[in-house]
Amino acid sequence: MTEEKSKFVYSVFWNCSLIIIGCLIQAIAYKGLAIPNHLVPGGIFGVSSLIYYLTDWLNPGLLNIILNVPMFILGYLFLSRRFLAYSAMAMLATSLIYQVVDFTIPIDNQFYAVLTYGLIFGVGGGMVLRSFGSSGGLDVIAIILFQKYNIGLGKTFFGFNFILFFFSFCHPGCRPGYRFDDRHVRGVEGDRLCSIHVQPAQIDIHCLRFS
């Protein structure tokens, strides 16, 4: 990487551009697919969505901001200010853009809704992660646990979302839907638990029936 390119990649303009565009895409996935289909995304936004489905209180965007406050307080104590600032920007951008997105993507089939949501969200999430920040929320906690206790990021995400999805199964109107490493999506359609693995040259789909 040349010095000029390195300066551009580290520039505030480049990082903010990645975050804003990535958050716009994520907000479209949330508002256009996840919420209309009662999907429960992973992470803190997933908790916000589940609370919204159960209580109809506020909306997932505002709840996401409220639930992120303690996460960023911890982040302020343990993480770099640059990472925290970019992550806070991403979290606020996603939540605020969610408020103004006012359309749904008409997909009636729940399985295809989960697949489409995961692909769109993965693109947006990948753009945010190419910056020097994150989407906030669970990412902040996962990095703290990794730095302090050497707990792998994947383990934190898996453990948290396993519990979240377990509770979502207890609410019949919710359908867990999440992307793993921007390439994996899990969701429920009827009596099937489906896992989708997206690779550059192929899409592998495996379904396990409950009955």
The domain containing residue 107 runs over which residues? 3-174
Q: Are strands 203-209 and 192-198 parallel, antiparallel or unpaired?
A: antiparallel
User: Would you call 9 exposed, middle or buried from its count of C-beta atoms within 10 A (0-12, 13-18, 19+)?
Assistant: middle
Residue 23 in domain? yes
Residue 82 in domain? yes
- CA 114: distance to chain centroid? 13
Residue 199 in domain? no
- Cβ 184 vs Cβ 176: under 8 Å: no
Residue 127 in domain? yes
pTM listed for this prediction: 0.77
What is d(CA 55, CA 161) in angstroms, rounded to the nearest whole number?
Answer: 20
Residue 19 in domain? yes
Taking alpha carbons only, the member of 114, 102, 99, 97 closest to residue 22 is 97
Q: Are strands 175-180 and 39-40 parallel, antiparallel or unpaired?
A: parallel
Number of domains present in the structure of the chain: 1
Residue 186 in domain? no
Residue 61 in domain? yes
Residue 187 in domain? no
What is d(CA 110, CA 39) in angstroms, rounded to the nearest whole number?
Answer: 9
190: Cβ contacts below 8 Å, ≥ 6 apart: 110
Q: Which of 5-19, 41-55, 118-132, 161-175 is predicted with the least confidence, judged by mean pLDDT?
A: 161-175
Distances (CA, A) of 182 to 83, 86, 121, 199, 210: 20, 20, 8, 10, 26
Q: Model confidence over 50-106: pLDDT tens digits?
A: 999 988 888 999 999 999 999 999 999 999 999 999 999 999 999 999 999 988 999
Q: Model confidence over 113-156: pLDDT tens digits?
A: 989 999 999 999 989 988 888 888 899 999 999 999 999 888 99
